[in-house]
Amino acid sequence: MTAGAGQRAEPNRTFVGIDIGGTKLHGLLVDSSGSVLRRVTVPTLAAEGSDAVAARIYALVECLLPEGGVAAIGLGAPGPLDSKTGTIIRTENLPFKDFPLAGLVERRFKVPTLLENDGSAAAFGEYAFGPARGSDPLLYLTASTGIGAGLVIGGTLYRGKSGNALEAGHISLMAGEGPACACGGRGCAEALASGSAIAARAREAAEAARTGKGKATRLAAFSDPGSKEAFALAAEGDAVAEDIVARALHYLGCCAATLVTLFDPEVLVIGGGLVKAGDRVRAAVEAAIAASPAASAGSCGIIAPGLGEDSGALGAAALAAKSFFGLDFARRS
Ligand SMILES: [Zn+2]
């Protein structure tokens, strides 16, 4: 965080972007047009603790660095975090607690380093380089293990006062009732509609079926059923799996419709591992928006991310380029 905004990067400058996830660390070396020059993914191995994961992040940066170095490094990580000081406050799927990751990376590599919420980074990646490039506003919603979101307005990421805006996974959809969420709240979108919520319901249903306390379901054949098994069995007509998936998608649709009502986006990009489960996720979101007159009034486009698993790392790199060198992306005049 040493270079001032407004400094100009040379046109051939390169940047490193890393998407720090609970299961993998996905890193890219990119140029200022968003072309990926190098791509490396390594497992996070979060159970080994914060120092081990930080060491793996340093090794990943080293692997990506070209001979002449890079202009800046962007890191995307789940929140809550303090993007001003580059500190991860705490995360559910990573071992970091009050961990000043950006400063440590910056001191080690002597390169200005930015830390951004992963949902926000992915939103900016899609805004800068994806098929919805330049959409204004662009709203990004991701549903996988957790639920996250990001919003780009007029080419600028909307961060809020503390940098933790758009924590869509923790909108309470049941007015403080319902299943407990890892954040300490109840009835959050993440506790109702994420991949881990679906997995939790699938495990409960399997256990109930095995002990004769619940309806029969083929989920009981799995020792540890997850969202993948729930979606697959729902598609095959298993009534219990269908009920679990339909409920989760109902709440995901509520979450999406709420965000669309609030922000009236030009485009809503729906990403994350759950979307890979099939068109059903997108269809549920479309149906929820169509059912809400306020949400559907703006007729926003609903699309899948165009950058696949690169969107978070690309966005982190682009945000670092923008923040430290004033590079602008995709702005319509
Ligand atoms: Zn929550």
Q: Model's pTM, two decimal places?
A: 0.89
Mean pLDDT value of segment 25-41 = 94
The CA distance from 223 to 47, in Å, is: 22
Residue 185 Cα to ligand 1 middle (Å): 5
- Using pLDDT thresholds of 50, 70 and 90, give the confidence band for residue 6: very low
Judge if 14-117+309-325 and 131-305 fold alike in CATH terms. Answer: yes
pLDDT value at residue 330: 66
Q: pLDDT digits over 57-91, tens only?
A: 999 999 999 999 999 999 999 878 898 899 999 88
Residue 4 DSSP class: P
Contact 181, 188 (CB under 8 A): yes
Strand-strand pairing, 156-157 and 14-20: unpaired
The CA distance from 118 to 330, in Å, is: 20
The CA distance from 78 to 284, in Å, is: 25
Three-state SS across 125-192? HHHHHCCCCCCCCEEEEEECCCEEEEEEECCEECCCCCCCCCCHHHCECCCCCCCECCCCCECEHHHH
Q: Which residue has the higher pLDDT, 79 or 246?
A: 246
Residue 169 Cα to ligand 1 middle (Å): 6
The residue written with tokens 């780009």 in the block is 152
Domain 131-305 CATH superfamily: ATPase, nucleotide binding domain (3.30.420.40)
The domain spans of the chain are 14-117+309-325, 131-305
In one letter, which amino acid is 104?
L
Residue 181 Cα to ligand 1 middle (Å): 5
Indicate whether 49 pLDDT > 60.
Answer: yes
Residue 171 Cα to ligand 1 middle (Å): 7
Least confident of 208-222, 237-251, 303-317: 303-317
Please state, for a pLDDT cut of 90, what percent of the chain lies above it. Answer: 76
Q: From edge to edge, which strands make up the β-sheet containing 113-117?
A: 36-43, 24-31, 14-20, 72-77, 113-117
Residue 244 Cα to ligand 1 middle (Å): 19
pLDDT value at residue 47: 93
- Using pLDDT thresholds of 50, 70 and 90, give the confidence band for residue 315: very high
Residue 35 Cα to ligand 1 middle (Å): 36
Least confident of 46-50, 91-95, 202-206: 91-95
Residue 132 Cα to ligand 1 middle (Å): 29
Residue 20 Cα to ligand 1 middle (Å): 20
Strand-strand pairing, 36-43 and 72-77: unpaired
Tell me if the domain spanning 14-117+309-325 has CATH number 3.50.50.60: no
Residue 191 Cα to ligand 1 middle (Å): 7
Strand-strand pairing, 267-271 and 301-303: parallel
Residue 199 Cα to ligand 1 middle (Å): 16
Q: pLDDT digits over 125-182, tens only?
A: 999 999 999 999 999 999 988 899 999 999 999 998 888 899 999 999 998 899 999 8
Indicate whether 321 pLDDT > 90.
Answer: yes
